[in-house]
Amino acid sequence: MRNIFKKALAGTMSVALVASLFVGADVNKTTVKAEDGQLSSWQVYQSGTAPHAWGDYEESAYNSITFTDSANTTVTNFNSATTNANGEVVGGITDSGVVANGFAANIKSNGWQADYGNGLNNPWSLRMTMDNIKLTEGHIYNISFKAKATSTKYFNLAFNTGSGDYMFGETEAELGTDEKTFTYTEFKSQATTSLQMVISLGAFPVVNENVKAKEANWTGTVTFSDITFEDLGVDPDYEKAPEIPTEKPTVKPTEKPTVKPTEKPTVKPTVKPTTKPTVKTLAKVKGLKAVNKKKGTVKLSWKKVSKAKKYQIKVGSKTYSAKKNTLTVKKLKKGKKYTFKVRAIASGYKSSAWVKKSIKIKK
């Protein structure tokens, strides 16, 4: 069940999240609202206390969540993740059934997580997800919301177009007791008509330019409100693929012409029908190696792929991301056979096909 939302949203998100209020002058703007049927119900995830392959961790759970619908609905009962026979964390999702443009999540604890070795935070243990947000194909949107917390708290924001490609790490941000307005400007929907929004509130064990101090066992309330998707109108750079007729005309002429043309046209039309824009696919990873020199550890390496910005690595149910062409995977079990899969990712390109390598851990 562990997800690493670290992929780049291919060709759609052109700018980063900023803590500022967007002001525009386009009189043709429209706003996506819950009452318009554009938003869907919130999906709540908590990992609970399920043990897993990386060792037991302290409880990640909510006390309650109050939504900003007309009834201010409060939910207090949530499903928690469990561990299956393979040691994988599964389940943990609760459909609140509530459609709202905000919520106040009272967190019992966001637990703790170890550094997985890739230098990235992955606060997957607590999440708030909204699926199937309706957009208009070929339009540009400003996505904004207000947020605060009862004490310093970090969060991550991801958007998914349904292809499995995310934009995530660049939207890591800090909350405090003063309410901030966050705006994600000029999101281009391209051929997308449905969007998923994921807000992750788990632990942040890795300090970086956005996370100033390690965060674990956090308790308190996080509030998100006025989540809006502002339609700025048609994207002038978007070219919709031409529609192909599925049926031939059913009406036949009732009379044949009595006069045949005396001459055939000497010049044929030179205009060809427009073709559907194509997206190039990145080349497959080559030279994948997996070496087990240290106890419970495998070092992966491969040749760089032209145009690739990062690489995604899967090991069973776990997913990693790496900007360089190497990754060390730790805490593997001796005597067990693992399959490592790697593919290349870049904005504006289709992700490459997976390349696999299997190895039995001998140390």
**Residues 172 and 310 grouped into a single domain:** no
Residue 267 lies in a domain: no
What is the pLDDT, as a whole number, of residue 125?
85
33: domain CATH number is 2.60.120.260
Integer Cα distance of 218 and 108 in angstroms: 8
Residue 207 lies in a domain: yes
**Residues 173 and 67 grouped into a single domain:** yes
What is the pLDDT, as a whole number, of residue 249?
61
**Residues 222 and 298 grouped into a single domain:** no
Residue 205 lies in a domain: yes
What is the pLDDT, as a whole number, of residue 132?
85
Beta-bridged to residue 62, according to DSSP, are 107
Give the end of a domain, one of 197, 216, 234: 234
- In the chain, how many domains are there? 2
From first to last of its 363 residues, the chain has per-residue pLDDT tens of 333 333 323 223 333 333 333 333 343 566 655 556 788 899 999 888 765 544 555 678 999 999 999 999 999 999 988 877 776 778 889 999 999 999 999 999 888 776 656 667 888 889 999 988 888 888 988 889 999 999 999 998 888 775 444 443 447 889 999 999 988 887 777 777 888 889 999 889 888 888 899 998 899 999 999 999 889 989 888 887 677 777 666 666 666 666 666 666 566 656 565 555 678 888 999 999 999 988 889 999 999 999 899 999 999 888 898 999 999 999 898 999 999 999 999 888 888 999 999 999 988
**Residues 295 and 229 grouped into a single domain:** no
**Residues 219 and 121 grouped into a single domain:** yes
**Residues 167 and 69 grouped into a single domain:** yes
Residue 284 lies in a domain: no
329: domain CATH number is 2.60.40.10
**Which three-class secondary structure state does DSSP give residue 295?**
coil
Residue 220 lies in a domain: yes
**Residues 176 and 54 grouped into a single domain:** yes
What is the pLDDT, as a whole number, of residue 67?
96
Integer Cα distance of 276 and 232 in angstroms: 25
What is the pLDDT, as a whole number, of residue 142?
87
Residue 255 lies in a domain: no
Residue 184 lies in a domain: yes
**Residues 226 and 307 grouped into a single domain:** no
How many helices (H) and strands (E) the chain has is answered by 0, 24
**Residues 82 and 159 grouped into a single domain:** yes
In which domain, by residue range, is 227 found? Answer: 17-234
**Residues 203 and 340 grouped into a single domain:** no
Give the end of a domain, one of 234, 252, 278: 234
**Which three-class secondary structure state does DSSP give residue 35?**
helix
Within 10 angstroms of residue 99's Cβ, the number of other Cβ atoms is: 17
Residue 11 lies in a domain: no
Integer Cα distance of 313 and 343 in angstroms: 7
Token look-up 């409060």 returns 74
In whole angstroms, how large is the CA radius of gyration of the chain? 25
